Amino acid sequence: MKRTFSLAVAAVLATAGSASAQEKFTFALNWFAVGDHAAYWVALDKGYYKAKGLDVTLENSKGSGDSIAKVDTGRADAGLADAAVVIASIGRGTTVKTVGMVFDKTPLNIFSLKEKPLKSPKDLEGKTLGAPPGDSQRQMFPAFAKVNGIDPAKVSWVNIEPAAKIAAVAEKRMDGVGDYSTGLPLYEKAAGKGNVVMMPWADFGFDMYSMSIIASAKTMKERPAALKAFLEASYMGWRDVMADPQAAMAIFKKRVPEVDVDVMMPNMMIGLGLMKTDRYAKNGIGWIDEKKMCDSVELVNTYMGLPRKVECKAVFTSEFLPKVEMPK
């Protein structure tokens, strides 16, 4: 009787001990499952978070605005969000900061159909483009227009629900849609391979940060060690994705069964292309370049009509960034 009792106590203490060693950490993804989320699932599956004492929950969101709001109000400890939306949100009173980068090259792009292709900025004048609310292409369009000498007033924008945007262009309801270049496989699935035309903004002189990892002022102040650990484990996940994309996709599919591998695989590969840059090779995956960051802030300040100007320093910090080497 006494033996079973002490065994039971020991068992309870043992489980209680291991439970308290794992800190809870919620990460708000920016959308439903897409290729560039694989890294975090890989880190989770391979136990990188657990090894650092983190019990991580990955949560879907409905866009950057949603993930930023989650992080800022404490419903999530860190999140994924588009830099333009992050900077604008800081101008409207949030206290989040970018603590690591995802894409190094800009994925901003406009999709159209082969029968009425929009290949260069000049083609856009007089056309109708669709974009979901909060879409970075929509919000940064005046900047893109200025860089390329076209009149933004000659381009009309229609608001469309994210679920409808691919169908909208495939069914020719509008001339083009603003969406990340990584979305190509999804558009090809709807419109047919070879029918989709892209206008990547990076090819037309537009350089700006996009997908990034953010954290709230609270997380940065009260849980710096946890944040550092999370970033390191996450970038280790990215490293593994770069080293063996096929294996990473298998893990992604295992953890998120709704993933359509035929579409997600090319989607993920295009995303990797935006990360295999010299900058990352030299400084580690996710490194934030101060000049590019401040240029991005200036673009938002100039073109997004915020109530107050945003200071570059207020937007990011590299103090939590680990240096995870890119695989050769």
Partner 1 sequence: MIKFQPLLRQYWPTVVLFAFLLASWQVAVSVGGIREYLLPSPLAVWNALWHGDTAWIQHLWVTTLEIVGAFFLAAGVGVALGVAIAWSPLVANALVPFLVFVNTLPKVAIAPLFLIWMGYGIFPNMLMGALIGFFPVVINTAVGLSQVEADMLDLGRVFNAPKWKIFAKIRIPNALPYILSALKITATAAVVGAIVGEFVASQKGLGYVIVTTQSSMNTSVAFAALIWISVVGLVLYGAVVLAARLWAPWAEGID
88 with 60: CB under 8 angstroms? no
Q: Which of 147, 167, 256, 281 binds partner 1 (CB under 8 A)?
A: 167
Asked whether position 163 contacts partner 1 by CB under 8 A, the answer is: yes
Q: Which of 89, 112, 137, 283 binds partner 1 (CB under 8 A)?
A: 89
User: How many beta carbons lie within 10 A of that of residue 160, not counting itself?
Assistant: 21
| AA letter at 17 | G
- Positions in 267-286 near partner 1 (CB under 8 A): none
Closer by beta carbon to partner 1, 146 or else 173: 173
Q: Which of 45, 50, 117, 158 binds partner 1 (CB under 8 A)?
A: 158
C-alpha angle 235-238-241 in degrees, rounded to nearest 5: 160
Asked whether position 168 contacts partner 1 by CB under 8 A, the answer is: yes
Q: Spell out the residues 6+ positions from residue 92 whose beta carbon is closer than 8 angstroms to its own.
A: 306, 307
> The dihedral of CA 288, 292, 293, 296: what is its sign?
negative
Q: Which of 59, 151, 161, 260 binds partner 1 (CB under 8 A)?
A: 161
Residue 250 Cβ vs partner 1, minimum distance, rounded to whole Å? 32
Residue 84 Cβ vs partner 1, minimum distance, rounded to whole Å? 10
Backbone angles phi, psi at 25, to 5 degrees: -145, 120
51 with 45: CB under 8 angstroms? no
Q: How many residues bind partner 1, per CB under 8 A?
A: 31
Q: Specify the stretch interacting with partner 1 by CB under 8 A; choose among 85-93, 231-239, 258-266, 280-288.
A: 85-93
Record the tokens describing residue 320, joined without a space. Answer: 């939590």
- Positions in 115-154 near partner 1 (CB under 8 A): 130, 132-135, 139
* Cα–Cα distance measured from residue 145 to residue 129, given in angstroms and rounded to the nearest whole number: 14
Q: Which residues bind partner 1 (CB under 8 A)?
A: 63, 65, 68-69, 72-73, 85, 88-89, 92-94, 130, 132-135, 139, 156-161, 163-164, 167-168, 171, 173, 304
